[in-house]
Amino acid sequence: MARRTRQLMAMIPALGLAVMAASGCATPVNQGSGGSNISLVQAGKLVTCTHLSYKPFQFSQGDKTVGFDVDLVDLIAKDLGVTQQIFDTPFETITSGTSFNANQCDLAAAGMTITDERKQAIDFSEPYFEASQALLVKKGSGYKDLASLKGKKLGVQQDTTGEKYANDNAAANGYTVVQFEDLPLMETAVRTGAVDAAINDNGVLYDYAKEFPDTEVTTEFATGEQYGIGVKKGNTALLTKINDVLKKAKESGEYDKIYEKWFGKKPEKK
């Protein structure tokens, strides 16, 4: 997914920290068995840029950040002999490459759809999750597809692939697109009736409907999206390690265990 951009003022503290790090506060070090060419921004840490909250991929639980993406990156950190550290940042700073260029993080795991546009700014791992867009509505509303929303309000999360899909189909279906700053605000708007429906990635919407049974997902749209873990452009050593760990996790069954933990079922085999 293409996640929302926060206001510029929200970016300033994070970018300020990044400038400090880039000026020499965090010296890249070599880490991990078989990873002698891998440099990390902090000794003993694998720093992950993400954008909270995007449950169940990454979200806060007490004083910890947990989720499907978090567990996968923990496997990479373990292989490198370090621990994962989460860095919450506006999504635009990840997809634009700013976070990597500012030395904020080593990789980005943020339920992030691989797109040609993003490939111009950052490099992606092999796909690790398949997604499509879906429609969230209040249970019993009768909204089964975009055509049924004629004259209605469709909520979207800013700067997401869902927003693009909604805008591309708005004229043909006659609904009004309403932007929200983040996923929780968009989902809550469906429950309160501020919008008639909302569109976003299927994984997060099914998770929400499970938690709030007064809502439901009525349809999916075959957008054929795939998530990837992002790294700084040209960081081949770390990208190779990420792909290697993901491949081993799928072969060993560890990936399936993590998937079932967060989605309640094993991934479909092709």
Could you tell me which CATH class the domain 131-225 is placed in? alpha beta
Residue with tokens 């990454």: 58
| Amino acid in position 4 | R
* Token pair in block for residue 56: 């169940």
CB 115 within 8 A of CB 246: no
- Per-residue pLDDT tens for 71-87? 999 999 999 999 999 99
> How many residues appear in the chain?
270
Residue with tokens 């190779």: 240
- Per-residue pLDDT tens for 133-158? 999 999 999 999 999 999 999 999 98
Q: Please, which pLDDT band fits residue 181 given cuts at 50, 70 and 90?
A: confident
Give the CA count within 13 Å in the CB-facing half-sphere of 102: 20
Spatial distance between the Cα atoms of 170 and 178, rounded to a whole number of angstroms: 11
Q: Please, which pLDDT band fits residue 160 given cuts at 50, 70 and 90?
A: confident
Residues of the chain with CATH 3.40.190.10: 45-128+228-263, 131-225
- Per-residue pLDDT tens for 90-137? 888 999 999 999 999 999 999 999 999 999 999 999 999 999 999 999
Res 36: pLDDT: 55
For residue 83, which of 64, 57, 55 has the smallest C-alpha distance? 64
β-pair type (107-108, 176-180): unpaired
Spatial distance between the Cα atoms of 259 and 67, rounded to a whole number of angstroms: 10
Spatial distance between the Cα atoms of 50 and 107, rounded to a whole number of angstroms: 9
Could you tell me which CATH class the domain 45-128+228-263 is placed in? alpha beta
- Per-residue pLDDT tens for 11-49? 434 444 444 444 334 444 444 444 458 999 999 999 999
CB 154 within 8 A of CB 198: yes
For residue 154, which of 138, 177, 171, 132 has the smallest C-alpha distance? 177
Res 265: pLDDT: 86
